[in-house]
Amino acid sequence: MFTIKQSVGITGGIGSGKTYVARILESMGYPVFYSDQVSKSLLATSPEIIKAVTKLLGTKAYFEDGTVNKAYVAGKIFSDQDLLLQMNAIMHPAVRNAFQTFFKNQNAPLVFNEAAILFETGAHENLDKTILVVAPEKVRIERVLKRENISIAQVKERIEKQWADEKKLALSDYIIKNGNNDMLLPQINEILQSLLNS
């Protein structure tokens, strides 16, 4: 029986493989909170958030059937830094509260929070430890192009919108290298041992 429950953030730039690492941890029996999925769910279902986003971005943010107009929303916030900051101010506190509830309800020694912009939002300040997943930019671009119908220029634009790995490294407790030839499991197991013994 564990005595202390720890919250651990998992982050990394687009295409780094952070979600893949989170899924491995989940398959090992650890609870994982997927911040981006929760954010999308809140954006689509929370009356307070729907009202705030409609006020910020206009009625085109949602289709007539109530679903999110993802292309419109992404086009607006990724091309206007001020709108992006305002959108983050709507979404991030709600996601943070959802994680706190999730954390309280888990009965496990380690509870993971997978988030693309963990450091950018300041969410890491409320966590016990953080893991940064890194991969060469070329590999990251290839991965994103395989899974999403976007151009290389769009991938690079998204990468540039996120903090550089160098900046994140200074704030991270653990690093997982996830290039094409890196072995993930030994790195994950080593980190788990360190976390469980701390």
State the binding site for ATP.
Answer: 15-20
Which amino acid would we find at residue 36? Answer: D
Instruction: Supply 11's token pair.
Output: 């982050």
Distance, CA of 129 to chain centre: 15
Which distant-in-sequence residues (6+ apart) come within 8 Å of 48 by Cβ? Answer: 94
- C-alpha distance from residue 40 to each of 26, 37, 95 (Å): 20, 5, 10
The C-alpha atoms of residue 25 and residue 19 are separated, in whole angstroms, by 10
Residue 87 in contact with residue 53, Cβ under 8 Å?
Answer: yes
Instruction: Supply 163's token pair.
Output: 């903090």
Could you tell me which residues are annotated as the binding site? 15-20
Nearest to 163 by CA among 110, 193, 118, 131: 118
Angle at 53 between CA 97 and CA 81, to 5 degrees: 95
The C-alpha atoms of residue 19 and residue 16 are separated, in whole angstroms, by 8
